[in-house]
Amino acid sequence: MKALPFLCCLIRPSAAKLRVTVWELAVLAGHLLLYPMGVSQEQAAAAAARARATADADADAATEDLRSGHRITGAEAATGYATGTADGPLGIVGPTAGATAASTASRARVAAGSAATAAGATAATRARVEARAGSRAGVATTATATATATAAATTGGGDDVDRLPAPALLPTEGRSHPPVLLLHGFIDNRSVFVLLRRSLRRHGWRHLEALNYSPLTCDIRKAAELLSRHVEDVCERTGHRRIDMVGHSLGGLIARYYVQRLGGDARIRTLVTLGTPHAGTRLASLLPAHPLVRQMRTDSDVIKELAQPAPNCRTHFVCFWSDLDQMMVPVETARIDHDDLRTRNVHVSGVGHLAFPVNGAVAAGIREALAAADPINPAQPEAADTAPEGATHDRASVA
């Protein structure tokens, strides 16, 4: 399907189409080189979240072990009140004491490292000093001193272990840009967003994630359900109630279905689509074999569902479309014209379908759209009627 624009260029050639086609070929070649990097699902953020949760659980376990034997305060640990004995700090006799203390010490060191990172360099230094002091006094004292240092660092220097607060998710809502979830197009993967992610990160976006859906996916509705679960996971891990989303081609259609038909407007603040066939594309009729392609036809059930009324939809849509996007037939199909939706259609001249995620003007427009009405940038009005260089707004309607 990606070769169809090049065939269309040969049928109806023009200088502009030839120029765009050459650029599309270059983008396709670069993307093929990067494609293997994006085959696997993105796991870094999820792994980091699991590591934080494990560290918190270990800290709670170490504190509970110490509390069950004796309530040790920061002052007692500093003066050496709790000294190691042959029976262990919790009164356990024999080899069991050594094993239990060693296990507790291991968990406490992990907890101390996590707490020290959150509290800063001063707390980290204090934890290391107390840990070294405890090491000289024996394994049992190491567990006691390190866990107590963790409590002091977490509570800001308090004396009582009982004052440890409950572990919290990343408290970034209102202090950083909302997370951005990227969704690729048909027979593609997250590697297509390499340059866009770099652009967003350089301009202050910290939470960037991409979701791969299988090329064997046969239903936009099923893909939207998968997207719904991933969005909930992102919100839970980051502490944000609403996030932003960028979808390229079919990815934008899946995201819109989630927002409009599955209640995703409660979670998605702004949805940016790049070359998405919102009204279907006639080109899909040339490749009717794949179920997803059939759902992108102008008369498909999915397109008819999206044309239905959507009252009170809270998501703001920003749609980038190009006069030289040869995958969109007609090109205006990449716009949203729906009376119930808050939309802003952005016309970018001279950009091919594959080039949307790597085009500089488009990246600038995406940053502008995501920064509109941002909690950390409230002075910028939502849906401001301005455009990046090389782009124009053909419609801006805000409820």
Domains by residue range for the chain, with CATH: 48-163 (no CATH), 176-397 (3.40.50.1820)
pLDDT digits (tens, 9 = 90+) for 15-59: 877 877 887 888 778 767 876 776 666 655 455 555 555 555 566
- Over 90: is that where the pLDDT of 314 sits? yes
3-state secondary structure of 104: helix
Question: Which secondary-structure segment (H or E) carries 367?
Answer: helix 360-371
Beta bridge partners of 397: 343
pTM of the model: 0.63
Average pLDDT of span 221-234: 96
Give the model confidence (pLDDT) of 52-83 as tens digits. 555 555 666 666 655 555 444 444 444 443 33
Of all residues in the chain, what percent carry a pLDDT higher than 70?
Answer: 55
* CA dihedral of residues 143, 149, 150, 152 (deg, nearest 10): 140
List pLDDT tens digits, range 294-309: 999 999 999 999 999 9
194 or 104: which leads in pLDDT: 194
pLDDT surpasses 50 at 110: no
Report pLDDT for 125: 46
Confidence of residue 214 (pLDDT cuts 50, 70, 90): confident
Exposure class string for 123-136: b at 16+ Cβ within 10 A, else e: bbebbbebbebbee
Tens-place pLDDT, residues 145-191: 444 444 444 444 444 434 444 444 455 555 679 999 999 999 888 89
Q: Which two tokens stand for residue 330?
A: 């007609």
Residue pair 112/153 in contact (Cβ under 8 Å)? The answer is yes
Structure tokens at 347: 């016309």
* Backbone phi and psi for residue 268, each to the nearest 5 degrees, phi listed first: -100, 115
Q: Mean pLDDT score of the chain, rounded to an integer? A: 72
Q: What percent of the chain has pLDDT over 90?
A: 45
Say if CB 353 and CB 307 are below 8 A apart. no
pLDDT band at 213 (very low <50, low <70, confident <90, very high): confident
> How do residues 115-152 score in pLDDT, each as one tens digit?
444 444 444 444 454 444 444 444 344 444 444 444 44
Angle in degrees, CA 227, 233, 234, rounded to 5: 90
